[in-house]
A and B are shown apart, each in its own frame.
Chain A
């Protein structure tokens, strides 16, 4: 427990001390919300406030950006730099390290979500979620699933230089296709179908159900299972392929 707390504090210190991480991972979704929120106004075809749907979209994008992209890049850089190998030589147990890294990522994402909701309320008149507990469960499940995929991506990416490019080529188009940045009704059929396969759209469905329609987190079990299935698949790849040592040897 002492080790877990120590490593959690270390992860937080390292995260906030690094401007790149803080800007790219924490600020970016907030900045996008600010930009898109100023552009979009009015209601969707379903009759939702666009500011409300945008908030849902950016919470989902935040989950993918923080837990998937951020975690994958962090792990690849640490592995290739020999940092993970050095840690393995200390008495810090690997599961404790993994939990601390995950907890730290969740904390960052949680804070980001709070900022997004507050911003939505203050700037764009989005409403405050009426089922905060269901929303919390949904974002935690979503973040954990993306974290599983993030470790899998880290296991498959070979070099630190390519890590950021690879994950962004995945995350940004996925967020666009899933409707994180605005309505997708005008998308060509093929792209729409691609969006249906990816996990983010389903996570948005779950979060949207809770936030827009005041449903419970289990009201849409199909979407929730797609999200969880992606996460589990990621974990399987992660467990089979993730290594602690630099790849280039």
Chain B
């Protein structure tokens, strides 16, 4: 079952193409990551899927709806966490949840949601007294209170300190546990690697690579490094066994030691930087 289906999606602002014909599918229950630097078209793509923006071309289906036509029935089934949305500073955490629960036909139990996002002890606290991380949890709680099948998370941890990021990751993992489909955008590689079942890497409005994080890394070549006469030699090869065998055999024959010999698989970061580098426009 597909939750999201995108075919040849295009969007321009004032003649500049922000999204240039991208296609991908997200299965029900999947956590899908859109990864890319700022300006790659992540937010534009997500906002088209959320129904905030109209597309210029292509086919889009979200939970069987066309998000280009705003329908209440569609809004009942999605939850959106924006990059930034202020809450009412003088309402309490519980009141904020109650207010948003009132917009949905079949909301979840308010106290359950407050508990789920870890704000149980803060339920009676005014929003203005919350820390940055707690406000983010509140945003997530508000997005979950309508019991959505699909949750959009736009850069959920931008600006977080490492501890708050790990907490936020735990929350996203708990969404998977609830069986929600999640579409998240991020420009952090480790975040995509930690959270997403599959990742699409966006660059300048195009998908340059897509797959499971492990596959993306596996698709790259292996790197062999050693020093010769004080200079570092780097060999990249899709066949590391053969390359290493040839290299060590030659060194043994010459009676040399391969100083600083190192064999490593590139990290997602290496792959990503390479993707960003290739004939960049």
Contacts and interface: CB of A to CB of B under 8 A. Distances in A.
Contacts of A90: 75, 100, 103-104, 146
Contacts of A44: none
Contact of A3 (B51, B88, B102): B102
A86 B99 contact: no
A91 B76 contact: yes
A210 to B, nearest CB: 37
B91 interface: yes
Interface stretch (B30-38, B77-85, B190-198, B261-269): B77-85
Contacts of A85: 52, 82, 85
Interface stretch (A10-18, A133-141, A183-191, A194-202): A10-18
A139 B99 CA distance: 30
A81 B85 contact: yes
Interface of B: 50-52, 72, 75-76, 78, 80, 82, 84-91, 95, 99-100, 102-105, 142, 146
Contacts of B86: 81-83
B82 A86 contact: yes
20 contacts: A6-B103, A7-B102, A13-B91, A14-B90, A17-B90, A81-B86, A82-B82, A82-B86, A83-B85, A83-B86, A83-B87, A86-B80, A86-B85, A89-B50, A89-B52, A90-B100, A90-B104, A90-B146, A91-B76, A245-B52
A17 B80 contact: no
Nearest to B51: A89
A92 interface: yes
Contact of A88 (B52, B95, B104, B142): B52
Contacts of A91: 72, 75-76, 103-105, 146
Contacts of B146: 90-91
A17 B91 contact: yes
A13 B95 contact: yes
Contacts of B90: 14, 17-18
Contacts of B89: 18
A173 interface: no
A138 B103 CA distance: 34
Given A3-B103, A89-B78, A14 B84 contact: no
A98 interface: no
B102 A89 contact: no
Main secondary structure of the interface of B (DSSP, over half): loop
Nearest to A18: B90
Interface string A129-149: 000000000000000000000
A93 interface: yes
B88 A14 contact: yes
A89 B80 contact: yes
Nearest to B53: A245
Contacts of B95: 13
Contacts of B84: 81-82
Contact of B75 (A17, A81, A89): A89
B85 A10 contact: no
A152 to B, nearest CB: 23
B102 A6 contact: yes
B43 to A, nearest CB: 10
A90 B75 CA distance: 5
A24 B186 CA distance: 41
Q: 7 shortest A-B CB distances, which residue pairs?
A: A81-B86, A82-B85, A17-B90, A89-B80, A6-B102, A86-B85, A91-B75
Given A3-B103, A81-B84, A83-B86, 11 more contacts: A13-B95, A14-B91, A17-B88, A17-B90, A18-B90, A83-B87, A85-B52, A89-B50, A89-B52, A91-B146, A93-B72
Max count, chain A CB within 10 A of own CB: residue among B76, B86, B100: B86
Contacts of B142: 86
A7 B90 CA distance: 16
Contacts of A89: 50-52, 75, 78, 80, 82
